[in-house]
């Protein structure tokens, strides 16, 4: 043995095969370590006394509730020594490490804690925790504002990274492209269109289109930055922090270095083990429920938009109403003697001129109300709708992509097998038969990979479905914003109306007893 072994340290290369088999049987599926609770269950199988177990525990270092691989090997050696009736001490690791009596390794896998497996599949973050991951603003560069711009540039400001970078739409486009390449099995929100659709220009100015696209980009980047997986990915960090002019190249290079999620995720090839037996039934039920939620939120958004539009129309009507009163009061036409002897109209119309200011204030309050309804209610509804739509897009990618490709591969494999059977019945050149056999082997490998991808896609779908349900408390957030906007709007409008009422009394009260109705 080496001096290190004599000092009580274990060389991984010198441990018995049984040690490695035990480790593989009880280690975490997503980690290189062993949970302390699992190790305690292993100790219970040793049949040792409490005194011996206490002596073993003195030499075992458990960091954050886990044992490292070498710590487990050390523990196995100590267990074996204690089972031989010796006092467990690393000082005895001089000769060949003894084999403990703990049963067959394949039986020990049952000791692995089920909750640890569930944690891999379960999204444990709350709605509030997702929201605080980051808040990102997207603003038009001031000097670039205007109509009919050749290029629009945005300033992207991340609260998390405390930095601002400059991006064009094409940068967002490449970022979206590489996100989809890497995370094809996740909810990747869609980008708004780059240009106005034909026919839209008649009902929307280019300035309005650019503003609508800016709002959509804000929703897109915040959904991405708050995703449990995306938020910690190098692609997102690069987009939000890289200040070089070649950000598109940087994003593509970053994506190429790692490959897609199936190639990098530790449990991708084991995804089937973590899926519930009724995963297909759960997926169908959840998908239908989310579809209904999506439809309901679309109707809510449509109604909220109409309310915001009515507030803006009310603003226009109020200011126009005030202007008409002012125009009426500004009429300098001389009253005929017939009217002047019987009417106070001359005095009344002079009083009407000052009312346009009050109605301008009312118009401003109505416009503020419309903006609050748009910013606080409609935008929040659009934010959630963007997420719901990206979930529906993901479901379609799963069915039309992974499942469809799997079926095509199976059909191709079936055709090759028939050709092979035909070749064995009818004499053919040996080289041709061997070439066909090679193609069949390659196709079998491709099918196996596709099956693994299919299970991983279902695994991701299960997690993304949880993400949708995690976001559902946004409903209370939206309702709160709606109620607050209405309370504030009605209070502010009511204050102006209440101030206007006594002014009307002063204006008209001395005119032949005319008073506004109370």
Higher pLDDT, 61 or 52: 52
What are the chain's domains? 17-113 (1.10.238.10), 127-195+205-264 (3.30.1520.10), 295-331+347-508 (1.20.1270.60)
Q: What is the DSSP letter of 92?
A: G
- Judge whether 158 and 240 are in contact, CB under 8 Å: yes
User: Strand, helix or coil at 245?
Assistant: coil
- Judge whether 480 and 386 are in contact, CB under 8 Å: no
The pLDDT-based confidence of 1 (bands split at 50, 70, 90) is very low
CA atoms within 13 A on the CB side of 409: 21
User: Strand, helix or coil at 67?
Assistant: strand
Q: What is the DSSP letter of 35?
A: E
pTM: 0.69
Look at residue 308 in the predicted model and tell me its pLDDT: 96
pLDDT of residue 349 exceeding 90, the answer is no
Q: What is the mean pLDDT of residues 355-364?
A: 89
Choose among 1, 2, 8: nearest CA to 70.
8
Calpha distance 102→232 (Å, rounded): 40
Q: What is the mean pLDDT of residues 26-34?
A: 76
C-alpha dist (Å) from residue 8 to 3, 63, 77: 9, 19, 11
Residues 408-419 have pLDDT tens digits of: 544 554 555 555
| DSSP-H helix ranges across 259-378 | 261-264, 271-274, 279-329, 337-340, 345-352, 355-372
Look at residue 34 in the predicted model and tell me its pLDDT: 85
pLDDT of residue 15 exceeding 90, the answer is no
Phi-psi region of 162 (alpha: psi -120 to 50; beta: other; left: phi over 0): left
Distance spanning both ends of the chain, measured CA to CA? 104
Burial level of 154, CB count in 10 A (0-12/13-18/19+)?
buried
> Which of 278-287, 301-310, 376-385 has the least mean pLDDT?
278-287
Q: What is the DSSP letter of 122?
A: -
pLDDT of residue 236 exceeding 90, the answer is yes
The tokens of 499 are what? Answer: 């101030």
The pLDDT-based confidence of 513 (bands split at 50, 70, 90) is very low
């Amino acid at each position: 043995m080496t001096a290190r072994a004599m000092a009580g340290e274990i060389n991984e290369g010198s441990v018995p095969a049984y040690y490695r088999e035990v480790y593989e049987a009880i280690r975490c599926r997503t980690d290189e370590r062993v949970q302390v609770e699992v190790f305690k269950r292993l100790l219970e199988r040793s049949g040792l006394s409490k005194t011996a177990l206490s002596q073993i525990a003195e030499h075992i270092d458990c960091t954050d509730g886990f044992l490292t691989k070498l710590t487990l090997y050390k523990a196995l050696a100590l267990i074996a020594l204690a089972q031989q009736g010796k006092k467990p001490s690393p000082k005895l690791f001089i000769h060949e490490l003894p084999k403990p009596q703990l049963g067959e390794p394949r039986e020990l896998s049952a000791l692995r804690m089920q909750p640890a497996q569930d944690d891999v599949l379960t999204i444990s973050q709350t709605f509030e925790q997702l929201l605080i991951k980051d808040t990102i603003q997207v603003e038009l560069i001031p000097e670039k504002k205007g109509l009919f711009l050749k290029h629009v540039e945005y300033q992207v400001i991340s609260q998390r990274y405390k930095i601002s970078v400059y991006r064009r739409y094409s940068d967002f486009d490449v970022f979206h492209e590489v996100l989809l390449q890497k995370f094809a099995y996740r909810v990747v929100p869609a980008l708004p269109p780059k240009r106005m659709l034909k026919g839209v220009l008649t009902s929307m100015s280019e300035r309005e289109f650019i503003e609508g696209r800016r709002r959509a980009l804000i929703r897109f980047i915040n959904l991405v930055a708050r995703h449990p997986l995306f938020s910690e990915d190098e692609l997102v960090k690069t987009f939000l922090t890289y200040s070089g002019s070649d950000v598109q190249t940087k994003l593509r290079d970053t994506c190429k270095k790692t490959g897609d999620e199936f190639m990098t995720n530790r449990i991708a090839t084991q995804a089937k083990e973590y899926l519930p037996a009724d995963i297909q039934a759960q997926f169908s039920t959840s998908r239908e429920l989310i579809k209904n939620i999506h439809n309901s939120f679309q109707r809510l958004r449509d109604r909220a938009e109409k309310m915001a539009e009515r507030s803006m129309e009310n603003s226009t009507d109020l200011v126009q109403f005030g202007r008409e009163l002012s125009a009426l009061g500004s009429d300098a036409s001389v009253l005929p003697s017939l009217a002047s002897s019987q009417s106070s109209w001359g005095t009344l119309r002079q009083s009407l001129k000052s009312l346009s200011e009050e109605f301008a204030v009312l118009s401003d309050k109505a416009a503020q109300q419309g903006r609050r309804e748009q910013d606080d209610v409609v935008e929040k509804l659009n934010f959630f709708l963007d997420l719901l739509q990206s979930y529906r897009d993901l479901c379609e990618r799963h069915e039309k992509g992974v499942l469809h490709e799997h079926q095509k591969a199976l059909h191709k494999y079936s055709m090759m097998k028939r050709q092979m059977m035909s070749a064995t019945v009818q004499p053919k050149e040996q080289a041709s038969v061997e070439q066909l056999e090679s193609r069949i082997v390659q196709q079998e490998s491709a099918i196996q990979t596709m099956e693994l991808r299919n299970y991983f896609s279902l695994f991701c779908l299960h997690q993304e479905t949880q993400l949708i349900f995690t976001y559902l408390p946004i409903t209370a957030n939206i309702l709160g914003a709606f109620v607050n906007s209405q309370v504030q709007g009605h209070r502010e409008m009511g204050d102006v109306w209440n101030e206007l009422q006594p002014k009307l009394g002063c204006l008209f009260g001395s005119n032949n007893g005319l008073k506004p109705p109370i």
